[in-house]
């Protein structure tokens, strides 16, 4: 389940808002998006996958929120899922092969 957005890392690009299939986030004009509907999270990790700043933490436990207060409380480093599937800075040039990445990144 989505647990937190790091205000220190987030640039407010709102890619996660567009990527989420269940409309969990609400965009904000003055800062990071808000986790507005946490109970609707499907733990699909799409927000973490497409966030360019590793600013989100999605816990693999889907049943109930962990109630994390800050990034320091996250059991794993932010961006762990994205890195585990191979989307690292070293492979950034390959991301254009993913059509969804191209759509979400186009502004």
Footprint of ligand SF4 on this chain (CB under 6 A)? 2, 5, 10-16, 19-22, 24, 32-33, 41-47, 51, 53, 55-56, 58
* Closer to ligand SF4 by Cβ: residue 13 or 74: 13
Between residues 11 and 97, which has the closer beta carbon with respect to ligand SF4?
A: 11
Q: How many Å is the Cα radius of gyration of the chain? A: 13
Cα–Cα distance between 104 and 78 in angstroms, integer? Answer: 20
Quote the least distance from Cβ 106 to ligand SF4, whole Å: 14
Question: CB-based burial of residue 107 (10 Å sphere; 0-12 exposed, 13-18 middle, 19+ buried)?
Answer: exposed
């Amino acid at each position: 389940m989505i647990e937190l957005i790091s205000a220190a890392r987030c640039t407010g690009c709102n890619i996660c808002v567009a990527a989420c299939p269940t409309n969990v986030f609400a965009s904000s004009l003055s800062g990071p998006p808000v986790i507005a509907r946490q109970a609707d999270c499907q733990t699909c990790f799409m927000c973490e996958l497409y966030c360019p700043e590793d600013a989100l933490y999605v816990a693999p436990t889907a049943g109930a929120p962990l109630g994390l207060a800050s990034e320091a409380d996250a059991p794993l480093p932010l961006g762990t899922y994205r890195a585990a599937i191979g989307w690292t800075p070293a492979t950034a040039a390959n991301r254009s092969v993913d059509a969804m990445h191209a759509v979400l990144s186009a502004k």
